[in-house]
Amino acid sequence: MPKLAAQPQSIDFDIARTALVIIDMQRDFLEPGGFGESLGNDISLLRNAVAPCAVVLEAARAAEMLVIHTREGHLPDLSDAPPSKISRGQPSKRIGDIGPMGRILIRGEPGQDIIPELYPLPNEVVIDKPGKGAFYATEFGDVLKKHAIETLLVCGVTTEVCVHTTVREGNDRGYRCVVLGDCCASYFPEFHEAGLRMVRAQGGIFGWVSNSRQLLTALADV
């Protein structure tokens, strides 16, 4: 069983009971004209996570690990999008508005899809979620139970929002959550660092923090 160097301590994991979870690496968040940019964010900051995610994704596929991608997005009639979410802030375009990549954060539109560099293979699981966390109003929990998953290796954006929410949800459900820090990013670098510290604080209150290099080292020893 491989051992992954992590903080606050190393963790053993069974590949057959481990899932790589890539959170919301979508065009609407990482490319010009999407929802992230409409809120006034510097989308280039999220690109830091793309290359490490790609390396980890390739390694997980080679190890035949379960790979799960998530996409935040809403039904075309916005019936699953609370008004408080649609109206927040003063974006140049809101959820459901027409943007350069179709209606913003609407399921099935080009902008809601995953970036080409990390695009899912046909056999990989894709979870469409209406909220921040992967467990809320989705089949994510059922998929994990079906595959007898115990450990989640979590990547994606943004560190302090959808990644953190999913890790907190997973921790409450008894999953061992490992955040791969360099595979995550935020529009606010200080939030990214604080988010990682929160996960590993107090002996790992929400889980563990590792990185892509340490995961590759662990998998190489299998």
Report the pLDDT averaged over residues 198-205.
98
CB atoms within 10 A of CB 60: 22
Question: What is the model's pLDDT at position 57?
Answer: 98
**Confidence (pLDDT) at 221:** 82
pLDDT in tens, 42-74: 999 999 999 999 999 999 999 999 999 999 999
Phi, psi of 161 (to 5 degrees): -115, -90
Q: What share of the chain is helix, strand, coil (3-state, %, to 5)?
A: 40, 25, 35
**80-107 pLDDT, tens per residue?**
999 999 999 999 999 999 999 999 999 9
Q: Is the pTM of this model over 0.75?
A: yes
Dihedral angle of Cα 125, 129, 132, 136, to the nearest 10 degrees = -100
pLDDT band at 222 (very low <50, low <70, confident <90, very high): confident
Task: State the catalytic residues.
Answer: 24, 129, 162
Query: Is residue 158 reached through a cis peptide bond, with omega within 30 degrees of 0 on the bond before it?
Result: yes
* Residue pointed to by tokens 């290359």: 51
pLDDT digits (tens, 9 = 90+) for 25-49: 999 999 999 999 999 999 999 999 9
pLDDT at 168: 98
* pLDDT value at residue 48: 96
Domain boundaries, the chain: 3-220
Rounded CA gap, 148 and 133, in Å? 20
Q: Which residue type occupies 77?
A: D
pLDDT in tens, 110-150: 999 999 999 999 999 999 999 999 999 999 999 999 999 99
pLDDT score of 5 more than 90: yes
Q: Which CATH number fits domain 3-220: 3.30.410.40, 3.40.50.300, 3.40.50.850, 2.60.120.380?
A: 3.40.50.850
**Dist CA 80 CA 125 (whole Å):** 21
Tell me the pLDDT tens digit for each residue of 164-195. Answer: 999 999 999 999 999 999 999 999 999 999 99
